[in-house]
Chains A and B, each alone.
Chain A
Amino acid sequence: DTGVSQDPRHKITKRGQNVTFRCDPISEHNRLYWYRQTLGQGPEFLTYFQNEAQLEKSRLLSDRFSAERPKGSFSTLEIQRTEQGDSAMYLCASSPQPGQGGHPISYEQYFGPGTRLTVT
Protein backbone atom coordinates (compact mmCIF):
# COMPACT_ATOMS: atom_id res chain seq x y z
CA ASP A 1 0.00 0.00 0.00
CA THR A 2 1.94 3.00 -1.26
CA GLY A 3 1.06 6.34 0.19
CA VAL A 4 1.48 9.86 -1.12
CA SER A 5 5.08 10.59 -2.05
CA GLN A 6 6.79 13.93 -2.49
CA ASP A 7 10.09 14.86 -4.01
CA PRO A 8 12.44 16.32 -2.95
CA ARG A 9 12.08 16.05 0.80
CA HIS A 10 14.33 19.05 1.38
CA LYS A 11 15.26 21.95 -0.86
CA ILE A 12 17.60 24.82 -0.07
CA THR A 13 17.66 27.60 -2.60
CA LYS A 14 18.84 31.15 -2.89
CA ARG A 15 16.40 34.01 -3.05
CA GLY A 16 15.32 34.69 -6.61
CA GLN A 17 15.76 31.14 -7.85
CA ASN A 18 12.92 28.98 -9.16
CA VAL A 19 12.03 25.68 -7.51
CA THR A 20 9.70 22.84 -8.48
CA PHE A 21 8.24 20.18 -6.24
CA ARG A 22 6.58 16.95 -7.26
CA CYS A 23 3.73 15.03 -5.64
CA ASP A 24 2.63 11.51 -6.53
CA PRO A 25 -0.78 10.78 -5.02
CA ILE A 26 -2.21 7.40 -4.14
CA SER A 27 -2.88 5.88 -7.52
CA GLU A 28 -6.67 5.63 -7.50
CA HIS A 29 -7.21 9.05 -5.95
CA ASN A 30 -8.54 11.67 -8.35
CA ARG A 31 -8.40 14.59 -5.90
CA LEU A 32 -5.11 16.27 -5.06
CA TYR A 33 -4.38 19.14 -2.71
CA TRP A 34 -1.40 21.34 -1.91
CA TYR A 35 -0.96 22.92 1.51
CA ARG A 36 1.75 25.03 3.08
CA GLN A 37 2.80 24.80 6.72
CA THR A 38 5.01 27.30 8.52
CA LEU A 39 6.48 26.91 11.98
CA GLY A 40 3.89 26.97 14.72
CA GLN A 41 0.96 26.91 12.32
CA GLY A 42 -1.34 24.30 10.92
CA PRO A 43 -1.32 23.53 7.21
CA GLU A 44 -2.91 26.19 5.01
CA PHE A 45 -4.69 25.30 1.79
CA LEU A 46 -3.05 26.41 -1.46
CA THR A 47 -4.80 24.68 -4.33
CA TYR A 48 -6.93 21.71 -5.35
CA PHE A 49 -7.17 19.47 -8.41
CA GLN A 50 -9.86 17.10 -9.46
CA ASN A 51 -8.22 14.93 -12.08
CA GLU A 52 -6.28 17.40 -14.25
CA ALA A 53 -8.50 20.37 -13.56
CA GLN A 54 -7.35 22.96 -11.04
CA LEU A 55 -10.63 23.89 -9.41
CA GLU A 56 -9.64 26.13 -6.54
CA LYS A 57 -6.74 28.39 -5.64
CA SER A 58 -6.15 30.19 -2.38
CA ARG A 59 -5.30 33.87 -2.33
CA LEU A 60 -2.09 32.67 -0.65
CA LEU A 61 -1.06 31.40 -4.09
CA SER A 62 0.54 34.49 -5.57
CA ASP A 63 1.39 34.89 -9.25
CA ARG A 64 4.81 33.42 -8.53
CA PHE A 65 3.21 30.08 -7.69
CA SER A 66 1.88 27.70 -10.31
CA ALA A 67 0.63 24.16 -9.98
CA GLU A 68 -0.14 21.58 -12.60
CA ARG A 69 -1.49 18.08 -12.82
CA PRO A 70 -1.15 17.42 -16.53
CA LYS A 71 -2.45 13.86 -16.78
CA GLY A 72 -4.48 13.72 -13.64
CA SER A 73 -1.83 11.70 -11.87
CA PHE A 74 1.25 13.41 -10.38
CA SER A 75 1.32 17.13 -9.70
CA THR A 76 4.02 19.79 -9.65
CA LEU A 77 4.18 23.02 -7.69
CA GLU A 78 6.56 25.65 -9.00
CA ILE A 79 7.65 28.78 -7.19
CA GLN A 80 9.32 31.43 -9.30
CA ARG A 81 11.67 34.09 -7.94
CA THR A 82 11.63 32.63 -4.46
CA GLU A 83 11.53 34.91 -1.45
CA GLN A 84 12.55 34.22 2.14
CA GLY A 85 8.89 34.26 3.11
CA ASP A 86 8.36 31.20 0.93
CA SER A 87 10.36 29.10 3.39
CA ALA A 88 7.91 26.49 4.66
CA MET A 89 6.89 22.86 4.48
CA TYR A 90 4.86 22.17 1.34
CA LEU A 91 2.43 19.32 1.81
CA CYS A 92 0.54 17.32 -0.75
CA ALA A 93 -2.56 15.29 0.00
CA SER A 94 -4.89 13.13 -2.04
CA SER A 95 -8.33 11.67 -1.61
CA PRO A 96 -10.69 9.53 -3.62
CA GLN A 97 -13.88 10.84 -5.11
CA PRO A 98 -16.51 10.10 -2.47
CA GLY A 99 -18.10 6.86 -3.50
CA GLN A 100 -15.35 6.17 -6.05
CA GLY A 101 -14.28 2.58 -6.35
CA GLY A 102 -16.49 1.56 -3.52
CA HIS A 103 -14.94 4.05 -1.13
CA PRO A 104 -17.38 5.21 1.49
CA ILE A 105 -18.22 8.86 1.71
CA SER A 106 -15.25 9.64 3.88
CA TYR A 107 -13.64 12.84 2.59
CA GLU A 108 -10.44 11.75 4.26
CA GLN A 109 -7.25 13.25 2.90
CA TYR A 110 -4.00 11.31 2.94
CA PHE A 111 -0.89 13.40 3.35
CA GLY A 112 2.61 12.97 2.02
CA PRO A 113 5.80 13.62 3.99
CA GLY A 114 6.17 17.13 2.63
CA THR A 115 8.96 19.11 0.98
CA ARG A 116 10.79 21.47 3.31
CA LEU A 117 11.88 24.59 1.44
CA THR A 118 14.51 26.91 2.84
CA VAL A 119 15.18 30.14 0.97
CA THR A 120 18.44 31.80 1.93
Chain B
Amino acid sequence: AQSVSQHNHHVILSEAASLELGCNYSYGGTVNLFWYVQYPGQHLQLLLKYFSGDPLVKGIKGFEAEFIKSKFSFNLRKPSVQWSDTAEYFCAVNADTGFQKLVFGTGTRLLVSP
Protein backbone atom coordinates (compact mmCIF):
# COMPACT_ATOMS: atom_id res chain seq x y z
CA ALA B 1 0.00 0.00 0.00
CA GLN B 2 1.12 3.50 -0.69
CA SER B 3 1.96 5.79 2.19
CA VAL B 4 3.32 9.31 2.52
CA SER B 5 5.42 10.70 5.37
CA GLN B 6 5.82 14.37 6.13
CA HIS B 7 8.53 14.81 8.69
CA ASN B 8 7.73 18.29 9.94
CA HIS B 9 4.35 18.71 11.57
CA HIS B 10 4.81 22.33 12.61
CA VAL B 11 7.27 24.84 11.21
CA ILE B 12 7.71 28.42 12.36
CA LEU B 13 9.77 30.80 10.25
CA SER B 14 10.39 34.49 10.01
CA GLU B 15 9.67 36.31 6.79
CA ALA B 16 12.44 36.00 4.19
CA ALA B 17 13.68 32.73 5.68
CA SER B 18 14.11 29.76 3.38
CA LEU B 19 11.71 26.85 3.55
CA GLU B 20 12.13 23.16 2.94
CA LEU B 21 9.40 20.67 3.82
CA GLY B 22 10.18 17.00 3.62
CA CYS B 23 8.03 14.38 1.94
CA ASN B 24 8.80 10.70 1.46
CA TYR B 25 6.54 8.11 -0.07
CA SER B 26 6.52 4.37 -0.24
CA TYR B 27 5.56 2.83 -3.53
CA GLY B 28 7.78 0.94 -5.89
CA GLY B 29 6.11 1.78 -9.17
CA THR B 30 5.59 4.91 -11.20
CA VAL B 31 3.97 7.67 -9.21
CA ASN B 32 2.50 11.09 -9.67
CA LEU B 33 3.40 13.54 -6.91
CA PHE B 34 1.63 16.62 -5.64
CA TRP B 35 1.86 19.36 -3.07
CA TYR B 36 -1.42 20.89 -2.00
CA VAL B 37 -1.81 23.96 0.21
CA GLN B 38 -4.69 24.94 2.47
CA TYR B 39 -4.73 28.59 3.52
CA PRO B 40 -6.71 29.45 6.65
CA GLY B 41 -10.41 29.19 5.93
CA GLN B 42 -9.89 28.06 2.35
CA HIS B 43 -10.06 24.76 0.52
CA LEU B 44 -7.20 22.62 -0.70
CA GLN B 45 -5.42 24.08 -3.72
CA LEU B 46 -2.77 22.54 -5.91
CA LEU B 47 0.66 24.10 -5.41
CA LEU B 48 2.61 21.96 -7.86
CA LYS B 49 2.75 18.53 -9.41
CA TYR B 50 5.17 16.07 -10.92
CA PHE B 51 4.30 13.44 -13.52
CA SER B 52 7.42 12.96 -15.58
CA GLY B 53 10.35 14.78 -17.10
CA ASP B 54 12.42 17.35 -15.26
CA PRO B 55 12.50 16.29 -11.60
CA LEU B 56 12.64 19.92 -10.49
CA VAL B 57 9.14 21.33 -10.81
CA LYS B 58 8.04 24.88 -10.25
CA GLY B 59 4.66 25.81 -8.89
CA ILE B 60 2.71 28.87 -7.99
CA LYS B 61 3.89 31.62 -5.64
CA GLY B 62 7.58 30.82 -6.01
CA PHE B 63 7.41 27.26 -4.69
CA GLU B 64 9.38 24.42 -6.21
CA ALA B 65 9.86 20.76 -5.46
CA GLU B 66 12.45 18.19 -6.42
CA PHE B 67 11.66 14.56 -7.13
CA ILE B 68 14.51 12.28 -6.13
CA LYS B 69 13.49 8.81 -7.21
CA SER B 70 16.32 7.01 -5.43
CA LYS B 71 15.25 8.56 -2.13
CA PHE B 72 11.49 8.30 -2.75
CA SER B 73 11.34 11.97 -1.86
CA PHE B 74 9.54 15.05 -3.14
CA ASN B 75 10.61 17.93 -0.92
CA LEU B 76 9.01 21.36 -1.19
CA ARG B 77 11.16 24.48 -1.17
CA LYS B 78 10.84 28.23 -1.27
CA PRO B 79 13.88 30.51 -1.03
CA SER B 80 12.14 33.33 0.85
CA VAL B 81 8.81 32.90 2.61
CA GLN B 82 6.21 35.58 3.14
CA TRP B 83 3.65 36.04 5.87
CA SER B 84 0.99 35.08 3.32
CA ASP B 85 2.55 31.60 3.03
CA THR B 86 1.12 30.75 6.44
CA ALA B 87 -0.91 27.65 5.68
CA GLU B 88 -1.01 23.88 5.94
CA TYR B 89 0.90 21.98 3.28
CA PHE B 90 0.08 18.44 2.19
CA CYS B 91 2.17 16.10 0.10
CA ALA B 92 0.21 13.53 -1.90
CA VAL B 93 0.95 10.65 -4.22
CA ASN B 94 -0.96 8.43 -6.56
CA ALA B 95 0.13 5.41 -8.47
CA ASP B 96 0.15 5.80 -12.21
CA THR B 97 -2.31 2.97 -12.72
CA GLY B 98 -5.28 4.82 -14.16
CA PHE B 99 -7.17 4.93 -10.88
CA GLN B 100 -6.25 8.23 -9.37
CA LYS B 101 -6.80 7.89 -5.64
CA LEU B 102 -4.59 10.36 -3.80
CA VAL B 103 -2.75 9.28 -0.67
CA PHE B 104 -1.91 12.24 1.53
CA GLY B 105 0.63 12.86 4.22
CA THR B 106 -0.44 14.20 7.59
CA GLY B 107 0.41 17.76 6.62
CA THR B 108 2.82 20.45 7.81
CA ARG B 109 1.48 23.54 9.48
CA LEU B 110 3.65 26.53 8.53
CA LEU B 111 3.50 29.78 10.47
CA VAL B 112 5.43 32.71 9.06
CA SER B 113 5.91 35.57 11.45
CA PRO B 114 6.20 39.09 10.01
Contacts and interface: CB of A to CB of B under 8 A. Distances in A.
Contacts of A25: none
Interface string A6-34: 00000000000000000000000001010
Contacts of B34: 108
Contacts of A35: 102
A111 B43 contact: yes
Nearest to A55: B99
Interface string B45-60: 1100101000000000
B49 A106 contact: yes
Interface stretch (B11-19, B62-70, B77-85, B104-112): B104-112
Nearest to B91: A42
A40 B90 CA distance: 11
Given A42-B90, A42-B92, A43-B44, A109 B106 contact: no
Contacts of A48: 99-101
Given A106-B51, A111-B36, A111-B43, 20 more contacts: A35-B102, A41-B106, A41-B107, A42-B4, A42-B90, A42-B92, A42-B105, A43-B90, A45-B102, A45-B103, A91-B44, A93-B44, A93-B102, A106-B49, A108-B34, A109-B100, A109-B102, A111-B44, A113-B43, A114-B43
28 contacts: A33-B101, A33-B102, A41-B106, A42-B105, A42-B106, A43-B102, A43-B104, A48-B100, A55-B99, A56-B99, A56-B101, A91-B43, A91-B44, A93-B44, A93-B102, A95-B100, A105-B51, A106-B51, A107-B94, A107-B100, A108-B46, A108-B49, A109-B100, A111-B36, A111-B44, A111-B45, A113-B42, A114-B43
